A and B are shown apart, each in its own frame.
Chain A
Amino acid sequence: MSKVFSEEQRDCLQELINVAMGLASDKLARFLNTFVHLQVPAIELVSSAQIPAEFETRYSSTDSALVSQGFLGNDGLRGEAIVLYQLENAHRIAALLGYETDSISELEMLTDISSILTTTFLNGLATQIDNSLSYSAPRVLSSRQGNVAQALLETAYHWELALKVDISYQLIDHSFNCDMLLLIPGEAVVNIQQILTRILEEY
């Protein structure tokens, strides 16, 4: 998979993602009125075939959720963002966002949280490359069914490349961990390479 991006392109992408995460955590901190510490996200390019096995161990033992949201920008930038997290974690952040768990359906809470995490992060990424994104409505692919691996397998099947971003938000008194997968189809990978090349040339 390292062949897909050159060393330089990969570093550039990591840098863009670091900054995007910084922007996202700043926004979240203002929104939630609390400090948000964000670990520098580890990114990794993985082939879609590897994905299910990798997440199976982490998410199969507990109740977990998998939420998908499509994104579409200029210059052929497009893909699908998948947020994976354990439901126990979700309730923590839900409380912080002011949800009363009895008055709102669990699915609605899940899609809201995922959408906030995904769009704040991807908007940050888009701004840096002079792009802007539109999003599809978030959709819960799997929740409480214990078939995360299967759901991922079905989703990931059509994608050439996945950019795996481990995200760990640390809030005061709370910690929240989740994984974000950016699934990118073949032709969009080429488009992203072109965007990265352009950025590298500008420096």
Chain B
Amino acid sequence: MSDNWLTGPVLEQLNSGVLVVDEQFQLVYLNCFLQRHGSVQLDEVRGQSLFKVFSDVPEAWLRRKFASVLELQSPSFSSWEQRHYVIKLPHMRPMTSSSQYMAQNCTMLPLSDEAGRRYVCLLIEDATDTFVYQQHLQSTLQKLEHSNRIDGLTQCLNRRYWEEQLKLEVQRALRYQQPLSLLLFDLDKFKQLNDQYGHLGGDSVLIELSARVRALLRDTDWFGRYGGEEFGIVLTNTALQGAVEVAERLCLAVSSLAVTFNECSIQSSISIGVAQLTNTGERAHEVLIGQADVALYNAKRNGRNRVVAFSPGETEFLLKTTD
């Protein structure tokens, strides 16, 4: 291969790093890409130890890699996904990448010269673009996951995700024999609010009440929008008495302060039904929702802006009245 006029310039112009060391890890060759990025001159570093010239390479790791290439005479690889870089170099996207250093895909190849001396060639490909795309993809996926869980208007959990969490929490509470309570609440006279202030007025009440309710909850509670103006809260590790106290606080937080919309002061209130998990089995969460719903119905029937806890026996009452 005496195509030096061809391979020489190509090697020098290549947008990848090419580095060759002998069996003692002494530098034999560095192409232009590596000389420029690494701020070294081949003439000055030829014959020196790779680990001296690039002092922050992972020496033990690279020695093991090179040893396997020399001994097995087969290539070895390193991916930026597992090791961001082998030789710490700046990259050519200093403004648009979140990483300071070039992401590198490396290939280590066995070489020999005419005299049979053995070398290792380290090829370094700049994978910074891939790294940047991957970062974008990850953050997009995170946003997607977020929007898949969240109700756009109120920033509560959406119904599907909230129900999944309810189901999981119910199974967990049953397994560890911990108390669990459910609140279902409804904005009173929502239709009337919408008629009087318009749908934007109604929406602003929903947004404000969600914010007030959220501020009073713990991190471990699950707050979701169940329907139009109906919401659910899963209170983990909470028995009925504690859940009623929380509900009373929520009721007061909503009714004590009017919501301002377009310079109008809108007075609103919520009715809350509370139930504690008592049933077991596959459908326990559905029974719980049914019980909280009965209690909510009774809160409405008893005059709204109040909390009613479910007690067994009310089911029969409800069935009688709806018959």
Give the B-binding residues of A (Cβ under 8 A): 27-28, 30-31, 97-98, 104-105, 107-108, 111-112, 115-116, 119-120, 123, 134-135, 137-139
Is B107 part of the binding interface, using a Cβ–Cβ cutoff of 8 Å?
A: yes
Q: How far is A115 from B107 in the complex, measured between Cα atoms in Å?
A: 12
Residues of A within 8 A of B67 (CB): 31
Q: Are A123 and B107 in contact (CB under 8 A)?
A: no
Contact A111 B82, CB 8 Å, known A137-B77, A137-B105:
yes
- 9 shortest interchain CB distances as A-B pairs: A119-B74, A108-B82, A137-B77, A31-B71, A105-B82, A107-B82, A27-B72, A120-B72, A123-B74
**Chain B positions 21-71 with a Cβ under 8 Å from a chain A Cβ:** 61, 64, 67-68, 71
Q: Are B73 and A123 in contact (CB under 8 A)?
A: yes
Minimum distance in angstroms from B24 CB to a CB of chain A: 19
Q: Mark B58-99, 1 if CB is under 8 A from A, else 0.
A: 000100100110011111111101110000000000000000
Q: Are B74 and A108 in contact (CB under 8 A)?
A: no
Contact A119 B75, CB 8 Å, known A137-B105, A137-B107:
yes
Q: Are B79 and A137 in contact (CB under 8 A)?
A: yes
Q: Are B107 and A104 in contact (CB under 8 A)?
A: no
Give the A-binding residues of B (Cβ under 8 A): 61, 64, 67-68, 71-79, 81-83, 105, 107
Q: What is the chain A residue whose CB lies nearest that of B125?
A: A137
Task: Decide if the interface of chain B is mainly helix, strand, loop or mixed.
Answer: mixed
Residues of A within 8 A of B107 (CB): 137
Q: Are A138 and B71 in contact (CB under 8 A)?
A: no
Q: Are A30 and B71 in contact (CB under 8 A)?
A: yes
Q: How far is A110 from B72 in the complex, measured between Cα atoms in Å?
A: 18
Residues of B within 8 A of A27 (CB): 71-73
- Known: A116-B76, A119-B72, A137-B105; 11 extra A-B contacts, CB below 8 A, are A27-B73, A28-B72, A31-B71, A97-B68, A98-B64, A105-B82, A108-B78, A108-B82, A116-B72, A119-B74, A137-B79
Q: Are B75 and A135 in contact (CB under 8 A)?
A: yes
Minimum distance in angstroms from B120 CB to a CB of chain A: 14
Choose one: B68, B77, B78, B82; the contact of A31 (CB below 8 Å). Answer: B68
Minimum distance in angstroms from B191 CB to a CB of chain A: 49
Q: How far is A123 from B69 in the complex, measured between Cα atoms in Å?
A: 13
Q: How far is A97 from B60 in the complex, measured between Cα atoms in Å?
A: 13
Q: Are A111 and B71 in contact (CB under 8 A)?
A: no
Between-chain CB contacts (< 8 Å), 28 pairs: A27-B72, A27-B73, A28-B72, A31-B67, A31-B71, A31-B72, A105-B82, A105-B83, A107-B82, A108-B79, A108-B83, A111-B82, A112-B68, A115-B74, A115-B75, A115-B76, A116-B68, A116-B72, A116-B74, A119-B74, A123-B74, A134-B75, A135-B75, A135-B77, A137-B77, A137-B79, A137-B107, A139-B79
Q: How far is A97 from B63 in the complex, measured between Cα atoms in Å?
A: 12
Q: What is the chain A residue whose CB lies nearest that of B74?
A: A119
Residues of A within 8 A of B75 (CB): 115, 119, 134-135
Residues of B within 8 A of A134 (CB): 75
Q: How far is A137 from B81 in the complex, measured between Cα atoms in Å?
A: 12
Residues of B within 8 A of A138 (CB): 77
Q: How far is A124 from B107 in the complex, measured between Cα atoms in Å?
A: 20
Residues of A within 8 A of B71 (CB): 27, 30-31
Q: How far is A166 from B105 in the complex, measured between Cα atoms in Å?
A: 31
Q: What is the chain B residue whose CB lies nearest that of A112?
A: B76
Residues of B within 8 A of A31 (CB): 67-68, 71-72
Residues of A within 8 A of B77 (CB): 111, 115, 135, 137-138
Q: Are B74 and A120 in contact (CB under 8 A)?
A: yes
Q: How far is A21 from B213 in the complex, measured between Cα atoms in Å?
A: 69
Q: What is the chain A residue whose CB lies nearest that of B106?
A: A137
Q: Are B74 and A111 in contact (CB under 8 A)?
A: no
Contact A107 B72, CB 8 Å, known A137-B105, A137-B107:
no
Q: How far is A132 from B309 in the complex, measured between Cα atoms in Å?
A: 78
Q: What is the chain B residue whose CB lies nearest that of A138?
A: B77
Minimum distance in angstroms from A95 CB to a CB of chain B: 13
